[in-house]
Chain A
Amino acid sequence: NAGVTQTPKFQVLKTGQSMTLQCAQDMNHEYMSWYRQDPGMGLRLIHYSVGAGITDQGEVPNGYNVSRSTTEDFPLRLLSAAPSQTSVYFCASSPPSGTPSTDTQYFGPGTRLTVL
């Protein structure tokens, strides 16, 4: 298993540009989520999904869009990038409810995004 993969690893955008951060997992996990990590603030939840076709907002959803058309993929879209979105973005997934590892999240390696 490749686990949770994220692309790209690094990205530089100009203010106003849009882009999609990719996230994929090959563990058949139902739950997937996106976090952003900023210095001194830990990880904050942006959006999450409990299965294909189901998404919901987390703590800091503004400026981001998600969709979940398959179990494997959970892309994060920045609609119009702003300097405040400069951050490191992590995707995570969790096994289906009721399995031994319920509520344990597996993280991808992260995408470092800079918005100029």
Chain B
Amino acid sequence: AQSVTQPDIHITVSEGASLELRCNYSYGATPYLFWYVQSPGQGLQLLLKYFSGDTLVQGIKGFEAEFKRSQSSFNLRKPSVHWSDAAEYFCAVGAPGDYKLSFGAGTTVTVRA
């Protein structure tokens, strides 16, 4: 069964600074990988996904993520954060065709002025 680890529970970053959120997965083959964002009191919104091909994936809101098979990682990055990026971020892994997703525990991002 697949699983996801997000090592950082909480990250604080200054507005305009860069952001990197870590995600490590466990799966025997090439997984489907996702990053979702949850703003306070809201549902989850898909930021980006990786199925195959180019290992650098571009998403919405200026986010990107890089799939590194050798490190079993799918880290999320943003060059310059905005106050509106304060939210909880979830990494998820799925098996192709399986529909079920396994989520990490989430990383809460606080943006300070």
Contact = CB atoms under 8 A, between A and B. Distances in A.
A50 B100 CA distance: 10
Given A42-B106, A43-B90, A107 B43 contact: yes
Contacts of B43: 4, 90, 107-110
Given A40-B9, A90-B44, A103-B32, A33 B104 contact: no
Contacts of B44: 43, 90, 92, 107
A114 B53 CA distance: 44
Nearest to A9: B41
B42 A103 contact: no
A61 interface: no
Interface residues on A, range: 20 to 34
B46 A33 contact: no
Interface stretch (B11-19, B60-68, B70-78, B91-99): B91-99
Interface in B22-57: 32, 34, 36, 42-46, 49, 51
B105 interface: yes
A105 B97 CA distance: 13
A33 B100 contact: yes
Given A107-B43, A107-B44, 7 more contacts: A33-B99, A35-B103, A42-B103, A45-B102, A94-B99, A103-B99, A107-B45
